[in-house]
Amino acid sequence: MDSITRLKQILLIIGDIIIAYIALIITLYLRYGKLSSEVVNFHWLPFTVTFIVWLAIFYIGGLYDLRHLKNNLAFMKQWGGVLSVSFLLAIMVFYFVPGVVIEPKTNLFLFMVVFGLLSYFWRTSYNNLLSAGSPYNRILLIGNNKTAQDVATHIEQNPQLGYEIKFWMKDGLLDKEFEHLAQIIIANKINIVVVPAHIKKDSRAGRAIYKNLSLGIEVADLSEIYERIFHKIPLAELEEVWFLENLAKQHRIYEFFKRPIEIFIATIFGLTTIPLSLLVYLFIRLASPGPAIFKQSRAGRSNQVFTIYKFRTMRLDAEKDGPKWADKDDKRVIPLGNILRKSHLDELPQIINILKGDLSLVGPRPERPEFNGRLSREIPYYDLRHIIRPGMTGWAQINYRYGASVQDSYEKLQYDIFYIKNRSIILDILIAVKTLKLLFTSAK
Q: Give the pLDDT band of residue 329 (cuts 50, 70, 90).
A: low
State the pLDDT at residue 318: 65
CA-wise closest residue to 163 among 228, 219, 213: 228
- Domains within the chain, CATH numbers bracketed: 3-131 (no CATH), 137-230 (3.40.50.10700), 252-437 (no CATH)
State the pLDDT at residue 403: 65
**Which residues lie across from 164 on neighbouring strands?**
138
Q: Give the pLDDT band of residue 420 (cuts 50, 70, 90).
A: very high
**Number of alpha carbons in the 13 Å side-chain half-sphere of residue 146:** 4
CA 78 – CA 258 distance, rounded (Å): 33
CA 284 – CA 26 distance, rounded (Å): 52
Q: What are the pLDDT digits (tens) for 115-149? A: 999 999 999 999 998 887 778 889 999 989 999 99
Of 96-100, 227-231, 270-274, the range with the lowest mean pLDDT is 96-100
Compute the Cα dihedral for 6, 365, 384, 411 and give only its sign. negative
Distances (CA, A) of 429 to 141, 227, 238, 250, 258: 35, 20, 28, 20, 11
Of 13-17, 141-145, 343-347, 384-388, the range with the lowest mean pLDDT is 343-347
Beta carbons within 8 Å of 176's beta carbon, 6+ residues apart: none
CA 368 – CA 326 distance, rounded (Å): 12
Which string of DSSP letters, residue by residue, matches 313-369? Answer: -B-TTTTTT---PPPTT-TTBPTTHHHHHHTTGGGGGGHHHHHHTS-EEESPPPPPH
CA 52 – CA 261 distance, rounded (Å): 24
pLDDT above 70 (res 32): yes
Q: Give the pLDDT band of residue 444 (cuts 50, 70, 90).
A: very low
Do residues 395 and 387 touch, judged by C-beta distance below 8 A?
no
Do residues 420 and 385 touch, judged by C-beta distance below 8 A?
yes
CA-wise closest residue to 55 among 105, 10, 91: 10
- Amino acid at site 331: K
pLDDT above 70 (res 214): yes
Q: What are the pLDDT digits (tens) for 69-109? A: 888 888 898 899 899 989 988 888 777 766 655 565 678 88
Cα radius of gyration (the chain): 26
**216-233: burial string, b at 16+ Cβ within 10 Å, e else:** ebebbbbbbbbbbbbbbb
Burial class (CB in 10 A: 0-12, 13-18, 19+), 54: buried
Compute the Cα dihedral for 29, 32, 38, 40 and give only its sign. negative
Task: Give the chain's end-to-end CA distance (angstroms, integer).
Answer: 22
Beta carbons within 8 Å of 143's beta carbon, 6+ residues apart: 169, 170, 172, 195, 196, 199, 222
